[in-house]
A = this chain, B = another copy of it.
């Protein structure tokens, strides 16, 4: 596809990944629903409170019987919160009642215990109460049929609380985007093992998997391929059968053994150079209906590619807020190559942003120390201290 601008390629990727934004709904238990996004409006199946009950610990009375307070009333029993047959109130008497217990039929007010003196047999009520005082009426919080939460709502603890309160044990949410990761390179070995001469530790598998997870995706498989096309093809088949998005790293540039490009380009994949640094070589393919984004294998290029081309779409699919870009003045001058949009590792220090490394795409330590990417437009070659730059929070 030759050299493309970041803007063109971003638009192309957005189109390929658009199916992520309409995932199928799945039903999950409320206990598994934290952070999930509702796929349907939720209406209450019940009134809340479910029944008329006491707002206070005290005495259930009828207002008429306490109008001439202070009055002393016989206490005919105790109503605790909990399962119980409906009780009945006799005018001119009182029932001791606990917060949350159902009001006895015929009672219309609660006298809080603080306003009384008495024992199990009789109570003196010190002040009059109007009908309805300290009574929680059925349906006064929520009416059956009322819209509680709308489709698209990301479920926080307080949302789970209201869903539980109306008795819903499960809820229909968007399926999380399912992501598969394939790293490539005969030189890669697992961290925690001992590399042979010529081998290096694979950081891209973990970077892409944890990046996907941190942005709301389910990572369904993380695999590593050799440079053998047959091996890569087999891993790819497994990935596209399990995932909504496949991310690969490595095998996309100008070498003799570019397994990702060699397998995917014949399947219609578009491979070429994007006018950006790092992360220039990129590929995008659709395999069996599943988008496959192919990032370069250099660890920093992989991370920057993920930030640019995968993260915004995963966040949108997961119902997470978009990462807000903003501008900051530069703490020092910088230079940038003509014709390439550059994403430099930066760190916010006070009210400015400073560089934490040069442009070298292998500086994975500097990437770890950065908290933003500094976005330098393609036509800018030099910026002075204090000039405003766009930054992308990591």
Chain B residues with CB under 8 A of A100: 185, 187, 200, 297
Within A189-238, the residues touching B (CB, 8 Å) are 190-193, 195-207, 209-211, 213-214, 227
* Residues 59-117 of A contacting B (Cβ, < 8 Å): 78, 80-86, 96, 98-102, 113-114
- Find out whether the CB atom of A169 lies under 8 angstroms from the CB atom of B193: yes
For the complex, what is the distance from the CA of A362 to the CA of B55, rounded to whole Å?
Answer: 9
Give the contacting residue for A30; candidates B161, B206, B256, B360; CB below 8 A. B206
Is A256 a contact of B168 with CB atoms below 8 Å?
Answer: no
What's the number of copies of this chain in the assembled complex? 2
Partner of A367, one of B86, B161, B192: B161
Is A157 an interface residue when CB atoms closer than 8 A count as contact?
yes
Which chain A residues in 353-376 approach chain B with CB under 8 Å? 360, 362-368, 370
Contact pattern, A 125-161, Cβ under 8 Å of B = 1, otherwise 0: 0000000000010001110001011000000111111
**Set B96, B140, B191: member contacting A164, Cβ < 8 A:** B191
Task: Kindly state the separation between the CA atoms of A249 and B367 in the bound complex, as whole angstroms.
Answer: 45
Chain A 272-322 interface residues, beta-carbon cutoff 8 Å to B: 297-299, 303, 306
Cβ–Cβ < 8 Å partners of A257 in chain B:
80, 98
- Given known contacts A161-B206, A165-B299, A303-B161, is B30 in contact with A197 (CB within 8 Å)? no
Does chain B have a CB within 8 A of A11?
no
Are A164 and B202 neighbours in the complex by a CB distance under 8 Å?
yes
Q: Please name the residue on chain B nearest to A187 by beta carbon.
A: B81
Report B-chain residues with C-beta under 8 Å of the C-beta of A187: 81-83, 100-101
A57 interface residue, CB < 8 Å from B? yes
Give the distance in Å from the alpha carbon of A164 to the alpha carbon of B99 in the complex.
56
Decide yes or no: A81 and B198 within 8 Å by CB, A136-B362, A161-B303, A187-B100 being known contacts: yes
A238 CB → nearest B CB, Å: 19
User: Is B168 within 8 A of A192, CB to CB?
Assistant: yes
CA distance A233 to B86 in the complex (A): 30
From A14-22, A44-52, A333-341, the one touching the partner chain is A44-52
Query: How many positions in chain A have a CB within 8 Å of any CB in the partner chain?
Result: 96
- A258 to nearest B CB, angstroms? 9
Indicate the member of A168, A202, A255, A360 with the most B CB atoms within 10 Å: A255
Contact B364 A161 (CB under 8 A): yes
Tell me the bound Cα distance from A31 to B207 in angstroms: 10
Question: How far is it, in angstroms, between the C-alpha of A197 and the C-alpha of B85 when the chains are bound?
Answer: 7
Residue pair A82, B203 in contact (C-beta under 8 Å) = no
Chain B minimum-CB-distance residue to A34: B210
Bound CA span A365–B114, Å: 29
Alpha-carbon distance between A360 and B146 when the two chains are bound, in angstroms = 19
CA distance A370 to B153 in the complex (A): 13
Checking B80, B191, B211, B360 against A167 with a beta-carbon cut-off of 8 angstroms, the contacting residue is B191
> When the two chains form the complex, which single residue of B113, B160, B362 contacts A49, counting CB atoms closer than 8 Å?
B362
9 A-B pairs besides A164-B202, A164-B206 with CB distance below 8 A are A31-B206, A50-B200, A57-B253, A102-B198, A158-B367, A159-B368, A161-B203, A165-B364, A169-B190
The 7 A-B residue pairs with the shortest CB-CB distance, nearest first, are: A169-B192, A82-B186, A164-B203, A162-B368, A161-B207, A57-B255, A165-B203
